[in-house]
Amino acid sequence: MTTSHIAVTVAYAAPDAEALVVVTLSRGATVNDAIARSGIVAALALDPTLLEFAIFGRRAKGQTPLEDEDRVELTRPLVADPKRARRKRAAGQPKAGSSLQNKPRG
């Protein structure tokens, strides 16, 4: 039996704040509808222009329609580019086959 309403969880997490709100919406509601109904943006004084969205970790747009029991995640901007951070970490490691890595134990 199909109901005319869906339940969606809206989540946000940051080092200094977190929120998890379950909202009930009409079938056909969008990510934007769920975020507005949750009140998280206003309650945590978030800048909506810096937020992006995901549904169960997969990027989504504000106009994306939701299904019952979806989890909408508000994501924060990246602090560092992951590729650049990895290159920086790798640059500090000895190269394969170098004398530091093959040093005899003894």
pLDDT beyond 70 at 48: yes
Q: Which structural domains are found in the chain, ordered by start?
A: 5-78 (3.10.20.90)
Phi/psi for 41 (5° steps) reads -60, -45
pLDDT beyond 70 at 2: no
User: What is the average pLDDT across 23-28?
Assistant: 97
Burial label, 73 (beta-carbon count in 10 A; 0-12, 13-18, 19+): buried
pLDDT beyond 90 at 58: yes
Cα torsion 57, 61, 67, 71: sign: positive
